[in-house]
Amino acid sequence: MQDLIIRNVNLFDGSGSESINGTDVAVKDGKITQVGRALGLDAAEVIDGTGKSLMPGIIDTHTHYDAQITWDPTVTPSSAHGVTTVLIGNCGFTIAPSKPADRELLMKNLTQVEGMSLDVLREGINWDFESFEEYLAMIERQGVAVNVGAFIGHSALRNYVLGDDASKRVATPAEVEAMAHLIRNGMKAGAIGFATSYSPQHNGWGGIPMPSRIADEFEFTELVKAMGEAGKGVFMITKGGIANVAFLEKVAAEAGCPMMIAAILHNSTLPDLALSDLNEIKAARARGIELYGQVACTPITYDFTLAGAYPFEGIQAWNPAMKLQGEELKMLLASNEFRNAVKNEIENPPAGIRRLFNGDWHKIEVLMTTQEQHRKYDQRNVGELAAAEGKHPLDFLLDLGLAENLATEFTAMLLNSDEDEIQKLLVHDAASVALSDAGAHLTFICDAGFGLHLMGHWTRDKGIMTLPQAVHELTAKPARIFRIPKRGLIAEGYFADLLLFDPATVGRSARYKVHDLPGGNSRLHTDPLGVFGVWVNGKKISDGKGQANGDHKAGMVIRDFEHWS
């Protein structure tokens, strides 16, 4: 007797091969036992999949659920969008290890770098751990709806070892060795690898650099080597500063480990950079160095207010605004000295610096005003509104925000906005599609449904790849890159992570707000479209109606990863 049989589906097995219609898939004890036509088996639950398609669950390799997972075992909305495995700790923005004395600053840093509410973090995080090993054990005790693989995070290590100096200075050799020791222990405990960031956009509380950005070349190299000593682990980095592709290839060669490089996104002000990065990564692969470039299939759209204007935080002249709140922030934003400094830097950017915002005012819109006399500005771009009023766009934006007590909602589509250019990245040999950022920037973006968007918009509507290729990109390919055993395929002996869907309607809804965070705080949300069911280890976690409403303990913390060979 099987636990589950899904009958008569059009099967996309994850390998990239053409689909097979009229297929049955049988599941027992969390694993796939048989795959074939008209299986003569009985089961406790039988689902008629006629007219529907079945694929492996989506593996989301770039999430930031590190905090949310401690209060939300369903990791919504990813679990409703067909995601059955998430990798957390990307960019090194983890919450373990953490000493009790460091937690307030750690949370404040997350509010800045990952757009999280400090009130939500204070109320929501379950701090029943200190070490990385205890963090994994806590998730296991609590239970989680999806499978979880966790990176050891560089910024958390620096906080743990250097304390208040984490964002101020280079580590001593003894401190580097202390961090390397923690990495070795974390890898033994089952980490998927080590993650860091050198991105100039990644600032912590008060505009200070996130701790990992302070690391010198010696620290960087020694920590990557420590991760790879056992012949396991994938190094993940958001590049910037010293960490260009050439430098990363050198480190990967020395450490002998695979490396995932983020975030490769098209920027209209530096239009050739993303493709150039991928071509460099491809050249390194031809030399036998296993590098990959993480790309996104979604436009990177940020909703924001002037109380937390994330798109501008890569501008050095904006740094003083990140240190202030309330009336002090309003006074600064009204200052001509501040405004002139920001304008000057936007118009005369430092050489070689790539920022999120580079003066493309036509890509910032007034999303929603709060006062009736300003409603005429809603859904119009700041560039054209400023021109109509004879103002510099920065002055228009700041004047409007100040007139509405910093409550005006703006939206900015600054990266990946040119679909012709995105297409080149998505089909590149060196690319891996990810970068949902699920769990972070909750008031700015919601790309947890990136996989459904790839299958619906890019595959069905745009035809840039076949559906078997898209399914492979979301399942078996990331499982192979990150050495996740027995997942990413529908085959006998593999874990039963499954997504039942309709290729004709699959996708995601428009964004809308929900108020389900701790304390009733809001976030952006999308619903899945064309999804009929999601199973993790053979247990149903979602019926596809937009909410995870099944087994909240179906998932597992994945601790065993394959060696590189």
Q: What is the CATH number of the domain that holds 87?
A: 3.20.20.140
Residue 472 lies in a domain: yes
User: Do 479 and 350 belong to one domain?
Assistant: no
How many domains in the chain? 2
User: Do 259 and 337 belong to one domain?
Assistant: no
Confidence of residue 348 (pLDDT cuts 50, 70, 90): confident
User: Do 286 and 380 belong to one domain?
Assistant: no
User: Do 213 and 235 belong to one domain?
Assistant: yes
Residue 159 predicted with pLDDT over 70: yes
User: Do 354 and 280 belong to one domain?
Assistant: no
Residue 11 lies in a domain: no
Show which of 414, 443, 460 is a domain's final residue: 414
Show which of 399, 414, 429 is a domain's final residue: 414
User: Do 281 and 334 belong to one domain?
Assistant: no
User: Up-side HSE of residue 271: CA atoms within 13 Å toward CB?
Assistant: 6
Residue 265 lies in a domain: yes
pLDDT digits (tens, 9 = 90+) for 203-238: 888 889 999 999 999 999 999 999 999 999 999 999
Residue 546 predicted with pLDDT over 70: no
Residue 5 predicted with pLDDT over 60: yes
How confident is the model at residue 112, as a pLDDT? Answer: 83
pLDDT digits (tens, 9 = 90+) for 44-98: 999 999 999 999 999 999 999 999 999 999 999 999 999 999 999 999 999 999 9
User: Do 142 and 238 belong to one domain?
Assistant: yes
How confident is the model at residue 269, as a pLDDT? Answer: 75
Residue 4 lies in a domain: no
How confident is the model at residue 310, as a pLDDT? Answer: 84
Radius of gyration of the chain (CA): 23
User: Do 313 and 285 belong to one domain?
Assistant: no
User: Do 218 and 239 belong to one domain?
Assistant: yes
Show which of 414, 444, 478 is a domain's final residue: 414
Residue 115 predicted with pLDDT over 90: no
User: Do 377 and 454 belong to one domain?
Assistant: no
Range of the domain at 312: 302-414
pLDDT digits (tens, 9 = 90+) for 378-399: 999 999 999 999 999 999 999 9
How confident is the model at residue 525, as a pLDDT? Answer: 92
Residue 47 lies in a domain: no
pLDDT digits (tens, 9 = 90+) for 389-426: 999 999 999 999 999 999 999 999 888 989 999 999 99
DSSP codes of every residue in 161-212: HHGGGTTTSPPPHHHHHHHHHHHHHHHHHT--EEEEE--TT-B-GGGPBPGG
User: Do 536 and 392 belong to one domain?
Assistant: no
Residue 353 predicted with pLDDT over 70: no
Residue 46 lies in a domain: no
pLDDT digits (tens, 9 = 90+) for 450-479: 999 999 999 999 999 999 999 999 999 999
User: Do 458 and 434 belong to one domain?
Assistant: yes
CA–CA gap between residue 242 and residue 262 (Å, rounded): 14
Task: Pick 226 or 513 by higher pLDDT.
Answer: 226
% of the chain surpassing 90 pLDDT: 84
Asked if residue 175 lies in contact with residue 218, where contact means CB atoms within 8 angstroms, the answer is no
Residue 548 lies in a domain: no
Residue matched to tokens 């012949």: 231
Residue 230 lies in a domain: yes
